[in-house]
Amino acid sequence: MKTADTNTDMNFIRHYLLALQFFTRIPITGKLADWVGYSPAMLRASAAHFPGVGALVGACTGFCFWGIYQLLPHYSAGVWIAAFLSTVLGVMLTGAFHEDGLADLSDGLGGHVSREKSLDIMKDSRIGTYGAVALVLALFGKIALLTLLGQVDIFIAALSLFAAHISSRLMPLFLILYLPHVGDTPQSKSKPLAESISLSALLVAMLWWLAGMGLVWYLQADRMWVAGVSGSVLALLWMWRFLKVRLQGFTGDALGATQQLSELGFYLAVLLSLGP
């Protein structure tokens, strides 16, 4: 029994490190990478740790936001710079993985073209007009919302970064659960995720999310976090409806786009809950 428990613990760590390796630029190399290993089944299992990846990225960016602000003169421009640099750090940590998905999905579904044509466009690595506009709006939207949050309360802004990254990485898992994969499966970067996520993996993801949001609530108990999660859920529901109508399923790019919109929805809902 003890050996079985140990193997379970090791698999948990391996799957988490594989998720970090695949979804961030955090170096998992050399002997550590050899120990982690790789297989499509392992990558599928690593989906359970998406919120755990968000916890690490959110902690880094949130601390960056708070720390930069403490080092700068406490004027409104200081909050803007802190929001800008924390956003840059987030992009560097993830290699713009989710932003790339947002751009590709926007290019594919921005125009009035057939489903098949949309899927072909999303395979093109080049960014078109719709993708460029979506990226600009998303990045400037994050910076603007975080700047306003920081002007309200710098600690709330830093916690919002942490909570938003966890919650926004939980939302795409529901697309995997309830929609079929419709990408070019043999070549798709989401191929290992094409099979529906298991309920046990979803449970692990929920535990990650509950632990993270429990910490946020412990540090700052307030209804605004309920509002923030609601904003992420509304973004998910909109994406689910949009993808069901336009693609009748999801692609890897759709998962990245859902994360981005859910993150923005979290910040906006927190701000709205704070009132004028």
pLDDT digits (tens, 9 = 90+) for 146-204: 999 999 999 999 999 999 999 999 999 999 999 998 876 555 555 565 566 888 889 99
For residue 143, is pLDDT > 50? yes
- DSSP 8-state secondary structure symbol assigned to residue 195: S
Residue 236 lies in a domain: yes
Residue 54 lies in a domain: yes
φ and ψ of 113, to 5 deg:
-125, 170
pLDDT digits (tens, 9 = 90+) for 29-59: 888 888 888 877 888 888 899 999 999 999 9
**Tokens of residue 56, six digits:** 């690490």
Residue 1 lies in a domain: no
For residue 4, is pLDDT > 60? no
Task: Check residue 194 and give its pLDDT.
Answer: 55
Residue 173 lies in a domain: yes
Give the integer Cα–Cα distance in Å for 219 and 54: 18
**Would the CA dihedral through 247, 251, 256, 259 be positive or negative?**
positive
Q: Which of 138, 142, 104 is nearest to 123 (CA)?
A: 104
pLDDT digits (tens, 9 = 90+) for 206-232: 999 999 999 999 999 899 999 999 999
Considering its fold, how many domains does the chain have in total? 1
Task: Check residue 185 and give its pLDDT.
Answer: 53
pLDDT digits (tens, 9 = 90+) for 59-99: 999 999 999 999 988 777 899 999 999 999 999 999 999 99
pLDDT digits (tens, 9 = 90+) for 109-123: 888 788 888 888 888
Task: Check residue 1 and give its pLDDT.
Answer: 47
- Say if CB 273 and CB 224 are below 8 A apart: yes
Give the integer Cα–Cα distance in Å for 42 and 18: 8
Residue 106 lies in a domain: yes
Give the integer Cα–Cα distance in Å for 15 and 216: 25
Residue 195 lies in a domain: yes
**Tokens of residue 203, six digits:** 């449970």
Task: Check residue 195 and give its pLDDT.
Answer: 60
Give the integer Cα–Cα distance in Å for 159 and 218: 11
Residue 180 lies in a domain: yes
pTM confidence score = 0.92
Residue 41 lies in a domain: no
DSSP string, 58-99: HHHHHHHHHHHHHHS-SSHHHHHHHHHHHHHHHHHHHTTHHH
Give the integer Cα–Cα distance in Å for 240 and 254: 9
- Say if CB 90 and CB 61 are below 8 A apart: yes
CB 28: neighbour CB atoms within 10 A? 15
| Residue 77 or residue 140, greater confidence | 140
Domain hosting residue 120, numbered range: 50-274
